[in-house]
Structure 1
């Protein structure tokens, strides 16, 4: 396999930015990894916080132990500006992942051309 395919697959399946590390582009790899992983950490933090709040309400008896009612509470839009920030974090995570894969492939192609000539 050539460098372009290996770098793109690493960025796609291991971690965004790992293909850049493979190509020895450490600054760009670090940037892409930080952006995508910070978005992922924020999303996980919000999910755990929301699950904790709902479980506390179930344990206190405020929400009955009924699947349909719990499902309604889970699928409600987050209050306040949380919905906006969740969308921003989701977009940052997905955009960094896609840009990481495409850029790793592009840089790998350039490296393959340099090595061939």
Structure 2
């Protein structure tokens, strides 16, 4: 398998930026990994916070153990500011992931072409 394909697959399936580490582009790989992981981390913190709020409501008896009622609470957004930051974090993760895949493939192709000219 070619280096470009391996790098793109690493970035696609392991972690954004891992293809850059494979290609020994450590600074760029670190930046992409940090952006992707910060986005996912924020989303996980928000999901846990929302789950804790729903569990507290259930334990206080404000919400019954009806699946439809719980689903409605999970589906609704808590506030506009929170929704904006969730969207920013989602775009940050998706952008880092997509950029990591495309750029690692591009860099891998450049490396392959430079090695073939030698």
Coarse TM-score class (shorter-chain normalised): over 0.9
Query: Superposed, which structure 2 residues align to 1:88-99 within 5 Å?
Result: 88-99=88-99
> Per-residue displacement from partner, 1:2-48 (whole Å, max 9, x unpaired)?
11001000000011000000000000000000000000000000000
| Residue aligning to 1:50 | 50
Structure 1 segments of 4+ aligned residues over 2 angstroms from their partners? none
Does residue 1:83 correspond to 2:86, yes or no? no
Equivalent residues, number: 117
CA RMSD, 1 decimal: 0.7
Q: Which runs of 5+ in 1 are unaligned?
A: none
TM-score between the two structures when normalised by the length of structure 1: 0.98
The whole-number CA distance in structure 1 between the counterparts of 2:4 and 2:76 is 43
| Residue aligning to 1:39 | 39
The whole-number CA distance in structure 2 between the counterparts of 1:48 and 1:55 is 10
Q: Which runs of 5+ in 2 are unaligned?
A: none
| Residue aligning to 1:100 | 100
The whole-number CA distance in structure 1 between the counterparts of 2:47 and 2:102 is 29
Task: State the shift of 1:112 in Å.
Answer: 0.2
TM-score between the two structures when normalised by the length of structure 2: 0.97
The whole-number CA distance in structure 1 between the counterparts of 2:23 and 2:63 is 52
